[in-house]
Amino acid sequence: MTILALLLAFSAAEKAAASHITAAEVSAHVRFLSDDQLEGRKPGTPGDELAIKYLASQLEAMGFQPAGDNGTFLQKVPLIELAGEAPKEVTFRGGQNQLVLHTDGGLQADLVVNPSAHKDRESVKDAPIVFAGYGITAPEYGWDDYKDVDVKGKVVVLMNFNPPFKGEGVRLWYGRWDYKYMNAARHGAAGAIIIHTTPSAGYPWQVVVTSWGTPQQDLPPGPEQKFMEFRSWMTENAAMRLAQLGGKDLDQLRKSAESKDFKPVPLESTVSLEIPVHLKTIESANVVGILPGKDPRVKGEAVLYTAHHDHLGSRPMPSGQDGIFNGALDNASGCATVLAIARAATFAPPRRSVLVAFVTAEEQGLLGSEWLARHPPIPSNKIAADINLDSVNVWGKTTDLGVLGLGKSSTDAVIRKVAAEQGRTVQGDPFPDRGAFYRSDMFSMARVGVPPVAVKGGPNYAGRPKGWGEEQHIAYERKHYHQPSDEYHGDWDLSGDVQDAQLQLVVGLRLANAPSLPSWTPGDEFEGARKTASK
C-alpha cells in the first residue's frame, strides 16, 4: 500500500499526525545517539549522560511536559555497579582429577563469571556441583527441577531454554537466564552456571562474552531479595568436560532433564573461587515526558511509549580495533523512532495523555523499566498499554507484522485493524525461540499489569523472496548484535520503520481515544497483576 493510500485509510487527525513521521527525522536522531562521542551509552558514563540530556531536550522542544522527579524530565534510577575481579582460571575437582577452565581470552574463554551478591568479596569453598536440569519451578505446568533436593551452598549447572510448555520451540520467561539465576538464588544455591549453546540461547557465544565481560549493574537490593555468590555462563564443550570429570555424560543428563520426573544429579565434583568486588554507585536516569490529554475526564490515563536508551559502553581493545559498542540498531533506532512518534502525536493530541519513557539499564537486566514499573508517573492501572520499541525494522517495507505477545490482550484487535488498513497481515512472534517478549522492557510493565504492544514488520518483505527477512535477522544476530559493528552508516532502508511507526502512532492514538482501557485476555499470566493494581 502506498503512503497516500495508507493515509487515506486513517482518520483526518491520524493522517495529519502520521504524515509527520519521516525517515529523515529517524535517521538524524540515530546518527547522534549512536555516534562515537556517546561512547556506547553505558549507564553512568559521560556518553549516557549526553544521551539523556539529548532525549530530554527533544521532548521539551516538542511541547511535552516533564513527568520525572521534581518537575524534571529525569527519573533518577539508582544503580549499583559490581566490578568483579574473577580469577583467570577456575579449577573444578573430581576425586583425584581436576578440570581447569579459563575465564579470559575473549571468544576462547571457557566460562564467564560475575559476582551476584552486593558485597566486596564473594567466594565459594569446595562447593559441590549439581546438575539441576532447566532450573525451573513451574507449578502451573507441574514442573519442578529442584524437587526436594537441597542445593543450599552448592553450585547448580543449568540448561538454557525451557520444556515445550507452550509448544515446541517457544521460549517463556522460564527459559530466560534472569529467571534461572533468580530461581537458583531462591533455592539457596551458592552459584549458578548456565550452559550456552547457540540454539538454546538464541545468539552465539560472542554475545555472552561481550555482554557479560564488563562490570554488571543492579538495582539496590530489596530486604527479602536472595543472592548467590556468582553467576556464570559456560560453553557446551566445557560443560561436557565438567560432566566427564565426575564420570557423567552431559547428553544423558540433558535427556533425563526433559522429563517431569527429573531430579537434580550430583556431578561428583567441587569448585572453589574468590571474587574481589568493587562496588560503586552509578547515576543514570529514565527520561520521562507527558503530552496531556484533551479530555479532562480521562487525561489522568495514558498510553505509554518506551524504548531503552542504554547500550554496552566501550572497552579497551588492541590497537586498530574498534572498542565502542555504539548500539545503533540496539537501541538508538528505537529511541529515534519514539521521538518521531512523540512529535507526530503533538499534531493530534488524543483524549488520554501520551506518556513517553526512555529507560536506562535495559542491557543490565531491564533495570530502568523495572524502576519505572515500581514508580510510574501515573498509576499502572491507568496506563492503557506500553508500546515498546527495541531494535526497529531497517530492511524496508513488509507485507506482514509480527506481534510479540499476540493473544494476551484486547489491544490485538486495534493492531489487526490498523495493520489491515496498511494492507498487512498479522502474526505472532516470528522467532518464538528467542523469547523476545520476556527480554525487553514491556515485560517489566506487563508484570505490573500494563498490556503490551510490541510489533515489528516482517519477516516477509515487499519485493523480496520468502526467507530473505529471516536471513537479514540471523545475519545481524551473528555479526553485529552486541558487537562494536552495530553502527549506523546511513545505509538503512527506513521505509519499513516509518511504516511500523505510523502503525504504532495510530494504535496509540486509538487506544488513547477509546471509550475504555484495554483488558487482558482472561486467564493470561499477567491478568492478575492488572486486577491487583486496580484495587
Residue 6 has pLDDT above 80, yes or no: no
Q: Which three cell numbers stand for residue 370?
A: 523495572
Residue 70 lies in a domain: no
Q: What is the mean pLDDT of residues 435-450?
A: 95
Q: What is the mean pLDDT of residues 200-227?
A: 90
Query: Of 246, 274, 302, which closes a domain?
Result: 274
- Give residue 9's pLDDT band: very low, low, confident or very high (50, 70, 90): low
Q: Are residues 333 and 243 in the same domain?
A: no
Q: Are residues 159 and 192 in the same domain?
A: yes
Query: Of 274, 306, 322, which closes a domain?
Result: 274
Question: Structurally, how many domains does the chain consist of?
Answer: 2
Helix boundaries (H) for 458-494: 468-479
Residue 487 lies in a domain: yes
Alpha-carbon distance 235 to 224, whole Å? 32
- Give residue 532's pLDDT band: very low, low, confident or very high (50, 70, 90): confident
Residue 118 lies in a domain: yes
**Residue linked to cell 517478549:** 437
Torsion of CA 461, 462, 467, 471, to 10 degrees: -50
For residue 495, the SS3 value is helix
- Give residue 11's pLDDT band: very low, low, confident or very high (50, 70, 90): confident
Q: Are residues 431 and 512 in the same domain?
A: yes
Torsion of CA 453, 457, 460, 463, to 10 degrees: 160
CATH code of 135's domain: 3.50.30.30
Q: What is the mean pLDDT of residues 214-223?
A: 90
Q: What is the mean pLDDT of residues 141-166?
A: 96
- Give residue 8's pLDDT band: very low, low, confident or very high (50, 70, 90): very low
Q: Are residues 258 and 301 in the same domain?
A: no
Percent of the chain with pLDDT over 90: 90
Average pLDDT, the chain: 94
Q: Are residues 190 and 260 in the same domain?
A: yes
Q: Are residues 456 and 339 in the same domain?
A: yes
Nearest in space to 389 (alpha carbons), one of 481, 313, 473, 503: 503
Contacts of 246 (CB under 8 A, 6+ apart): 94, 95, 129, 266, 267, 268, 269
**Residue linked to cell 525517515:** 23
pLDDT single digits (tens) 362-371:
999 999 999 9
Q: Are residues 323 and 442 in the same domain?
A: yes
Q: Are residues 258 and 297 in the same domain?
A: no
Q: What is the mean pLDDT of residues 74-86?
A: 95
End-to-end CA distance of the chain: 45
Residue 68 lies in a domain: no
Q: What is the mean pLDDT of residues 63-85?
A: 96
Q: Are residues 388 and 311 in the same domain?
A: yes
Q: Are residues 406 and 475 in the same domain?
A: yes
Residue 284 lies in a domain: no
- When mean pLDDT is compared across 164-178, 315-329, 479-493, the lowest value belongs to 315-329
- Give residue 4's pLDDT band: very low, low, confident or very high (50, 70, 90): very low
Tell me the pTM: 0.93
Q: Are residues 343 and 214 in the same domain?
A: no
Q: What is the mean pLDDT of residues 480-496?
A: 96
User: pLDDT value at position 227?
Assistant: 93
Residue 229 lies in a domain: yes
User: pLDDT value at position 223?
Assistant: 83
Q: Which three cell numbers stand for residue 235?
A: 560453553
Residue 377 lies in a domain: yes
- Give residue 214's pLDDT band: very low, low, confident or very high (50, 70, 90): confident
Residue 218 has pLDDT above 50, yes or no: yes
pLDDT single digits (tens) 119-149:
999 999 999 999 999 999 999 999 999 998 9
Residue 315 has pLDDT above 90, yes or no: no
Residue 291 has pLDDT above 60, yes or no: yes
pLDDT single digits (tens) 498-516:
999 999 999 999 999 999 9
Four-residue CA torsion sign, 341, 347, 351, 357:
positive
CA-based R_g, the chain, Å: 23
User: pLDDT value at position 534?
Assistant: 64
Look up the domain containing 328 and give its range.
3-63+292-533
User: pLDDT value at position 5?
Assistant: 45
Alpha-carbon distance 445 to 464, whole Å? 35
- When mean pLDDT is compared across 220-224, 332-336, 449-453, the lowest value belongs to 220-224
Query: Of 274, 308, 325, which closes a domain?
Result: 274
Question: Is-contact 180 166, C-beta < 8 A?
Answer: no
Q: Are residues 296 and 157 in the same domain?
A: no
Residue 514 lies in a domain: yes
